[in-house]
Amino acid sequence: MRTIHDYQHHQGWDNSFEPVITIARGETLEFHTIDASGAQLSPSSTVADVATLDFGKINPVNGPISIEGAEPGDSVKVTLLSFDMAGWGWTANIPGFGLLADQFLEPALHLWKFDATTLAPSMYGPGGRVPLKPFCGTIGLAPAAEGLQSIVPPRRCGGNMDIRDLSTGTELYLPVEVKGALFSVGDVHAAQGDGEVCGTAIEAPAVIAARFDLIKGENLAYPRFTTSGPVSSHFDSKGYEVTTGIGPNLMEGARGAVSGMIDLLGKRYQMSAVDAYMLCSVCADLRISEIVDQPNWVVSLYFPRVVLE
């Protein structure tokens, strides 16, 4: 198995980047990824370090990897084989970022420590234990658009999708837009709720093993994936507390559902609002519950009771 080392990374997408290696179909690689801060945060960081983050270093991804024979219209199949975690991570409220950025204006930071071998639930300082499920936050291929493209938004060929089910055993199919595909990966999360509402999950360095295959002429419109089994059993054992937002705007509905859960956690567990906000980001799931009964739609936030009971 060949290794892509932590120094073999880049910021942003650019189809003019030279590949670090070229691989054949069926080959397996190991990626030594950096955390989403670009190693600006560490187990000894303080909240002051959040305020001084250099955003030019955010979300580094390892690669790019060229795949022999890949052409526009093909798909790259990536089978995620394993995640070897470093045993620590961070969650932050970064001013100006997140679903409720207008309400949470000050930086906040929570540092996590966990058993990298067993991945036992990790303690959250204000209370609770969060079950872990490592996955790739950012994984994708270079876009056809010329020049340097921001790493922040997801794109048709993948990128910063933050889909928590891109975990061990998942098979991900990515549409190719440029010759060689130019695959990159990084931004590993030890845990995240659907929606990543505060803008960060449990951001962590990791070693990823993945196998690559090529499907000729599939002409995918967008990425698709197949999971290897249940996707939420690590959260389901004690049920959920659920808050909703209802109205004609899905974004405002999502904001209402999250705000409702922050209020509930604060009243029930005497948790500060920012701590509740960050905890929702790493373990609570936003769902569209109804999108047909116009003019109002329903967005729900599912918070797993196992975290706090």
Which pLDDT score is estimated for 127? Answer: 81
Decide: 237 and 306 in contact? Cβ < 8 Å. yes
> What CA–CA distance (Å, rounded) separates 36 from 63?
15
Task: List, in sequence order, every residue forming a beta bridge with 13; answer none if it has no partner.
Answer: 149
Please confirm whether the linkage preceding 295 is cis (ω < 30° from 0): yes
- pLDDT tens per residue across span 12-38: 999 999 999 999 999 999 999 999 999
- pLDDT tens per residue across span 192-210: 999 999 999 999 999 999 9
Give Cα 212 distance to the centre of its chain: 20
Q: Could you count the other beta carbons within 10 Å of the beta carbon of residue 173?
A: 18
> What CA–CA distance (Å, rounded) separates 259 from 250?
14
Decide: 39 and 145 in contact? Cβ < 8 Å. no
> What CA–CA distance (Å, rounded) separates 97 from 305?
27
For residues 96-111, give the mean pLDDT: 97
Which pLDDT score is estimated for 126? Answer: 76
Give the domains, in start order, of the chain with CATH numbers: 2-226 (2.60.120.580), 236-307 (3.10.28.20)
> Binning pLDDT at 50, 70 and 90, where does residue 72 land?
very high
Nearest to 188 by CA among 56, 80, 278: 80
Q: Could you count the other beta carbons within 10 Å of the beta carbon of residue 115?
A: 12
For residues 267-284, give the mean pLDDT: 97
- pLDDT tens per residue across span 139-155: 999 999 999 999 999 99
